Amino acid sequence: MSVPQYRKAAALALAAGLGISLAACSTKSSDDSGTDASGKVTITVDCQPVGAQKELLANWNADVAEFEKANPDISIKSVSVGEQCNNPPDFTARLAGGTMTDVFYGYMTDLQQVLDSGQAMDITSAVSKDTIPTWDSVDPALKEVFTEEGKLYAIPVKNYSMGLVYNKALFKKAGLDAENPPKTWAEVRAAAKKIAGLGGGVAGFSEYSAGNTGGWHFTAEIYSQGGKVLSEDGKKAAFNDAAGKQVLQNLKDMRYGDNSMGTRQLLQWGDLLTNAGAGKVGMFIGAPDATQAIVSQFQGKYEDWAMGPMPGQDGAAKGTLGGGEGYFFKKGLSDAQVKAGLKWIAYQKLTPGKGQLDYVRAKPQNYPVGLPQPLLFTNGSEAQKQELDLRKANANVDTANFKIFEDNPVAIVGEPRNAQAIYAVLDSAMSGVLTNPNANIDSLLKTAEEKVNQLQAAGS
């Protein structure tokens, strides 16, 4: 071949190669029925633990193997989407691009976003005792969170409510009674001041103010004051009131009045828990599973941590934030795939003694058994009895550390509609009082109110 011919051939090969690559990008790999060549129903499922979570990953893989053995006509393809299965920007990108797995993880706050994207499947008729044997025992309030206009869009698999997480070791060091945590915000302030007095960069009380987590905690704290984030009809902001002001005032007083919240602010989820794991945080608002993250991800020790109820302003808290997570089903799945997905969730998430509720397996591992939550099943149901018995028998944490939290239940209030967007706005109010000694609380709340009203108007 002459040089020009070589050149021509190379050019044509390049163009053809590019065409094939582009075509390959747009080709769907499986057929519409979701069955593979051997006739197995195949589903993709996300939130597989990442490689760094060795024991959790091994548990998940063992569950997949056992499930496939028991259901030889189903094949589970696991996908890992990061340690925090739902990082809001990644989740949004997957939804917008339609690249979620067939059965995909989401927060309770994600329902509206998932529905807006048009990616969720109505699974109402597919869910029953046949597909999920414990379905009748699952707390109806949790089912309701994933229901819109009578249609169910996801299966709840975890829930939580918030309280006051505190470091017993720091309490003792500061001369505080570790068995009697603060029950009001005034007591929190006094304890925070003493703990911060230990020095060494210890924050008596620590709080989020970035990455949507500030707004999330503002919501929990305004509930404790008896306030609301949105009006009853969900169309207007309702936090620019005495309750909202009190939340910010409490924080400002601790941050600049007492200097008991440390200098590092603009904290996100991992930042605060890293500090907590390092023994630099006396108290923070969180759910029981925060202790799991502190130990398994941030090198803390279970024995250091305990929980009390959510503090109230002048007495017991008037409410606390509850939330959780579930699995959605991607629109367009075949009936067989939906059934397979439900069977997998039933096995891995909602069967006492199996999957995430396999406490015998979890006991020797570095994951807590015996925390007071999740509470997926209704009081008095057989499933709840089985699950609680197993939990108690295999507890590897000192359940006494959570007794005060359990014995003082606070009314759980759900997350507001369009929660993640609202949380992003409220981050600004939180960061304002935590980083600016001259922050004007009225002005911070007014700006946030304007933004939230606009958001709600656009979303309606």
Partner 1 sequence: MATMTAPATRRPEPPREVKTRRSKTGRKVRDNLTGHAFLIGAVLCFALFMWFPMVRGIVMSFQRTRRGETTWVGWDNYTRIVADPSFWIAWKNTFIFTILALVLGYLLPFFVAILLNEFRHAKGYLRILVYLPVMLPPASALFLFKYYAYDPSEAGLFNAILKALHLPTSEWMQSPTMTIPAMVIASTWMNMGSAVLIYLASLQNIPGELYEAAELDGAGVWRRIWNVTIPQTRLILTLLAMLQIVATMQLFIEPLILANGAGTQDSATSVAYLIYQHGFFQNDLNGAAALSVIMLIVLAAFSAVYVRLTTKQD
> Shortest approach of partner 1 to residue 421 CB, angstroms?
4
> Shortest approach of partner 1 to residue 452 CB, angstroms?
10
> Shortest approach of partner 1 to residue 331 CB, angstroms?
8
Under the criterion CB under 8 A, does residue 89 sit at the interface with partner 1?
A: yes
Under the criterion CB under 8 A, does residue 436 sit at the interface with partner 1?
A: yes
The binder of partner 1 chosen from 35, 80, 268, 399 (CB under 8 A): 268
Residue with smaller CB distance to partner 1, 137 or 418:
418
Provide the phi-psi class of 53: left if phi over 0, else alpha when psi is between -120 and 50, else beta. beta
> Shortest approach of partner 1 to residue 429 CB, angstroms?
8
CA atoms lying within 13 Å on the CB side of residue 459: 20
Q: CA-to-CA distance for 14 and 26, rounded, in angstroms?
A: 19
The binder of partner 1 chosen from 183, 427, 441, 445 (CB under 8 A): 427
**Other Cβ atoms closer than 10 A to 14:** 10
Q: Which stretch binds partner 1 (CB under 8 A): 75-83, 286-294, 404-412, 439-447?
A: 439-447
From residue 336, alpha-carbon distances to 68, 75, 132, 151, 380 in Å are 15, 12, 14, 20, 33
Residue with smaller CB distance to partner 1, 39 or 89:
89
Size of the site for partner 1 (CB under 8 A): 54
Bond prior to 374 in cis (omega within 30° of 0): yes
The binder of partner 1 chosen from 48, 53, 101, 113 (CB under 8 A): 113
Q: Which stretch binds partner 1 (CB under 8 A): 130-138, 334-342, 406-414, 419-427?
A: 419-427
- Nearest Cα to 406, choosing from 323, 330, 306, 327? 306
Under the criterion CB under 8 A, does residue 263 sit at the interface with partner 1?
A: yes
Q: CA-to-CA distance for 296 and 38, rounded, in angstroms?
A: 40
Q: 423 and 215 in contact (C-beta within 8 Å)?
A: yes
Q: CA-to-CA distance for 301 and 291, rounded, in angstroms?
A: 8
x/- map, 2-41, partner 1, by CB under 8 A? --x--xx--xx-xx--x---x-------------------
Q: Which stretch binds partner 1 (CB under 8 A): 90-98, 129-137, 345-353, 403-411?
A: 90-98
Q: Which two tokens stand for residue 283?
A: 């108290």
Residue 167 sits at φ, ψ, to 5 deg, of -90, 105
Three-state SS for 413? strand
Q: Which two tokens stand for residue 172?
A: 């003792």
- All residues at 6 or more sequence positions from 440 whose CB lies less than 8 Å from its CB, including other chains: none
> Shortest approach of partner 1 to residue 37 CB, angstroms?
31
Residue with smaller CB distance to partner 1, 27 or 38:
27
Q: Which stretch binds partner 1 (CB under 8 A): 289-297, 299-307, 351-359, 442-450?
A: 442-450
DSSP 8-state code for residue 316:
B
Residue 252 sits at φ, ψ, to 5 deg, of -60, -40
List of residues contacting partner 1 (CB under 8 A): 4, 7-8, 11-12, 14-15, 18, 22, 88-89, 92-93, 96, 112-113, 115-119, 201, 209-212, 263-268, 271, 331, 418, 420-421, 424, 427-428, 431-432, 434-436, 439, 444, 447, 450-451, 454-455, 458-459
